[in-house]
């Protein structure tokens, strides 16, 4: 999109009338880093499903996100629609002015005017939250037309910036494998770039201020997605859950908050954001907690292979049989069996399926992606047929 | 039943004694908070106790706040709405969301114990500080830059000293001094520990033009 403002000029945002505002320094230089605006959303594989990186036999992906708010504006859930529009415009122009690496482009989605299918795809690709797609805040304000946006760094989709979610800005970075440090470095680059332009809401005691006090302090959430099928089989998963809980870490399902952990994919993330520095948090999760969970899972896998191979083979080949034969597949069912087949492929029990296929299917069996591939809207029963067909074809392709 | 403003449903009903006469009032939440009628007289006992123990909330709200005549400003303890965005504390308790950055200062006393509980006892931000905030901390007083450079152990020592003074002030009910000391603790604790002198100087130098522009 072409900006309406003449390029090369500094833009001052006027003090708003009425209340005294403390937005002293919003001065955006247009530097010609244009964004691409609107769809299409990519549908091919994405960063978090690449299946590469450190400890990638167990760790699917790492993610970090920082919550930031502009000083002098109400938080989005309490802001008027006009305020949200103004905030969105400031943030959009600010993101537009950022430098980013060569070969990448920033795509901007104005979610007010976006197609529902685009919003769905963006959620399924983990580039934004469900709440952001709906536009409704947990206090009941907002709605589909609420001013909000999303910037995605393409083509690799490693960075996305949510504008006017619960906070003015949520900067997110994703990497395949265990790579929280890289995620954090990437976030800091964007965070520093944004801070060149705007002033953040910050409090000496509470740190970065956020709409919900559970996010204050660093405003940082680090999460790692792990695949723990062997611990499930050996019945030791509860120990991991308890241990994580004791360390103040949350354990969630594959598709984030409130989702079921089908397929034994789990997201482990910090809950505490105040009183612990970014480095401390990073050290704890990346060097201590996750490696020990990984070793635990690896140990359980090795044990299954050496001591209980028939059980392992039975489990994974049954699942493969279902995926290759089913004519109707529910989402959880598909996920459960894909999880076990992944275990079979990684332990080299299953030879004729590639990891790439499994990972792509994890993405493509979601409703939005199926709808996009088939080019039409699907009812629930149609989706079950389409899902089974997609999985069957993909897995038989591998065996040839 | 409608509120006195005739615009919204009255949700707060109170009976007060004024000059020996019984007066009934029916207000909506907004009018109630504007008029300083506490909408939240029933603070959980656990919070009362934790506030008392931590010495954070130096005045304890009581049910007698309800009898505050509307002409008087609210007694310390009832929480007035945020002057910037008019968010009320009771609305925050319903939704879990604050209205604007100033809410943190407006409700600081009541938020502090709540936040500490949510963060496993964490009360003080440690870690990244926005460059502009860092610069203003450095400029606030001459000692600012020195304490920035000071290592973690030195900082801990100074924090300990201030903490002792604070406890002493609270014990002697010198709340004005206590507030000053608390601010000083906050400032000390928020200073990063891992910056080298050169880093700080370059950071301060890099941001100063922006600051001058904005002031």
The candidate with the shortest Cα–Cα distance to A257, out of A245, A243, A269, A244, is A269
For residue A16, give every residue at least 6 positions away whose Cβ sits within 8 Å of its Cβ, in sequence order, or none: none
Residue reference for tokens 């900082």: B155
pLDDT at position A16: 40
CA A222/CA A181 separation, integer angstroms: 10
What is the rounded (10 degree) CA torsion for A356, A357, A362, A367?
130
pLDDT at position B149: 31
ipTM given for this complex? 0.84
On chain B, the residues whose CB falls within 8 A of the CB of A205 are 108, 112, 123-125, 186, 189-190
CA B5/CA B17 separation, integer angstroms: 22
For residue A337, give every residue at least 6 positions away whose Cβ sits within 8 Å of its Cβ, in sequence order, or none: A263, A319, A320, A322, A323
Residue A259 confidence class, pLDDT cut points 50, 70, 90: low
The candidate with the shortest Cα–Cα distance to A296, out of A352, A339, A253, A233, is A233
How much is the CA Rg of chain B, to the nearest whole Å?
22
Give the minimum alpha-carbon distance from B112 to chain A in angstroms, rounded to a whole number. 9
CA of A209: which chain B residue's CA is closest?
Answer: B101
CA A35/CA A359 separation, integer angstroms: 30
Examine the pLDDT at B57 and tell me if it is beyond 70: no
Contact B125 A19 (CB under 8 A): no
pLDDT at position B143: 38
The candidate with the shortest Cα–Cα distance to A176, out of A369, A295, A45, is A45
pLDDT at position B159: 74
Examine the pLDDT at B135 and tell me if it is beyond 50: yes
A154-167 pLDDT tens trace: 989 999 999 999 99
- The chain B residues in contact with chain A (CB within 8 A) are 84-85, 87, 94-101, 104-105, 108, 111-112, 114-116, 118-133, 137, 186-187, 189-190, 210, 213-215
Question: What's the token pair of residue A156?
Answer: 């690799």
CA B16/CA B156 separation, integer angstroms: 51
Pairing of strands A36-37, A105-110: parallel
Examine the pLDDT at B22 and tell me if it is beyond 70: no
Contact A78 B125 (CB under 8 A): no
Examine the pLDDT at B1 and tell me if it is beyond 90: no
Examine the pLDDT at A1 and tell me if it is beyond 50: no
CA of A166: which chain B residue's CA is closest?
Answer: B97
B76-112 pLDDT tens trace: 557 899 999 999 999 999 999 999 999 999 999 999 9
CA of A281: which chain B residue's CA is closest?
Answer: B127
Cβ neighbourhood burial of B45 (10 Å; 0-12, 13-18, 19+): exposed
Examine the pLDDT at A246 and tell me if it is beyond 70: yes
Mean pLDDT on A284-294: 91
On chain B, the residues whose CB falls within 8 A of the CB of A218 are 125, 127-128
Residue A81 confidence class, pLDDT cut points 50, 70, 90: very high
Contact A138 B95 (CB under 8 A): yes
Residue A50 confidence class, pLDDT cut points 50, 70, 90: confident
CB A123 within 8 A of CB A133: yes
Tell me which of B126 and B161 has the higher pLDDT: B126
Q: Range with the lowest mean pLDDT among A49-58, A283-292, A320-329, B144-153?
A: B144-153
CB A228 within 8 A of CB A264: yes
Residues of A numbered 200-259 whose beta carbons fall under 8 angstroms of chain B's beta carbons: which are they?
200-209, 211-214, 216-218, 220, 248
Cα B48 to Cα A163, B61, B120, distances in angstroms? 38, 9, 19
């Amino acid at each position: 999109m072409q900006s309406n403002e003449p390029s090369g000029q500094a833009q001052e945002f006027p003090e708003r009338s009425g209340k005294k505002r403390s937005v002293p320094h919003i001065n955006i230089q247009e530097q010609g880093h244009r964004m691409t605006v609107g769809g299409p959303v990519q549908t091919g594989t994405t960063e978090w499903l690449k299946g590469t990186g450190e400890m990638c036999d167990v760790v699917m992906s790492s993610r970090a996100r920082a919550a930031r708010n502009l000083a002098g504006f109400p938080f989005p859930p309490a802001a008027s629609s006009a305020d949200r529009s103004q905030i969105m415009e400031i943030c959009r122009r600010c993101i537009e002015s950022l430098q980013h690496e060569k070969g990448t482009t920033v795509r901007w989605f104005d979610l007010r005017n976006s197609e529902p299918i685009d919003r769905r795809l963006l959620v399924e690709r983990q580039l934004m939250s469900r709440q952001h797609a709906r536009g409704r805040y947990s206090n009941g304000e907002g709605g589909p037309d609420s001013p909000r946006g999303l910037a995605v760094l393409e083509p690799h989709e490693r960075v996305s910036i949510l504008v006017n979610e619960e906070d003015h800005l949520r900067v997110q970075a994703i990497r395949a494998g265990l790579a929280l440090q890289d995620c954090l470095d990437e976030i800091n680059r964007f965070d520093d770039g944004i801070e060149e332009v705007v002033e953040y809401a910050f409090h000496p005691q509470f740190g970065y201020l956020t709409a919900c006090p559970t996010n204050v302090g660093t405003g940082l959430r680090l999460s790692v997605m792990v695949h723990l099928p062997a611990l499930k089989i050996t019945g030791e998963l509860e120990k991991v859950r308890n241990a994580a809980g004791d360390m103040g870490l949350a354990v969630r399902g594959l598709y984030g908050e409130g989702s079921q952990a089908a397929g034994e994919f789990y997201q482990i993330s910090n809950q505490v954001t105040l009183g612990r520095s970014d480095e401390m948090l990073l050290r704890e999760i990346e060097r201590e907690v996750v490696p020990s969970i990984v070793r635990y899972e690896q140990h359980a896998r090795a044990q299954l292979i050496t001591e209980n191979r028939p059980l392992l083979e039975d489990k994974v080949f049954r699942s493969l049989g279902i995926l290759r034969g089913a004519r109707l597949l529910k989402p959880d069912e598909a996920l459960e069996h894909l999880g076990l087949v992944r275990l079979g492929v990684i332990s080299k029990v299953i030879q004729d399926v590639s990891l790439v296929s499994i990972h792509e299917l994890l993405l493509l069996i979601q409703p939005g992606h199926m709808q996009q591939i088939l080019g039409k809207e699907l009812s629930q029963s149609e989706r079950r047929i389409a899902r089974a067909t997609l999985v069957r074809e993909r897995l038989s392709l591998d065996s040839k | 039943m409608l509120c006195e403003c005739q615009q919204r449903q009255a949700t707060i009903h109170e009976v007060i004694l004024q000059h020996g006469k019984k007066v009934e009032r029916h207000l909506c939440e907004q009018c109630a908070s504007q008029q300083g009628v506490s909408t939240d007289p029933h603070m959980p006992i656990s919070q009362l106790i934790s506030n008392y123990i931590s010495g954070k909330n130096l005045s304890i709200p009581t049910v007698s706040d309800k009898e505050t005549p509307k002409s008087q400003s609210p007694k310390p303890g009832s929480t007035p709405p945020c002057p910037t965005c008019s968010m009320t504390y009771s609305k925050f308790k319903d939704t879990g969301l604050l209205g604007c950055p100033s809410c943190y200062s407006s409700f600081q006393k009541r938020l502090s114990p709540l936040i500490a509980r949510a963060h496993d006892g964490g009360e003080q931000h440690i870690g990244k500080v926005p460059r502009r905030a860092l610069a203003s901390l450095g400029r606030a007083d001459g000692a600012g830059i020195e304490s920035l450079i000071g290592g973690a152990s030195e900082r801990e020592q100074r924090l300990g000293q201030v903490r002792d003074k604070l406890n002493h002030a609270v014990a002697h009910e010198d709340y004005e001094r206590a507030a000053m000391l608390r601010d000083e603790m906050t400032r000390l604790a928020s200073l990063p520990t891992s910056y080298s002198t050169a880093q700080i100087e370059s950071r301060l130098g890099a941001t100063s033009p922006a600051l001058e522009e904005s002031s």
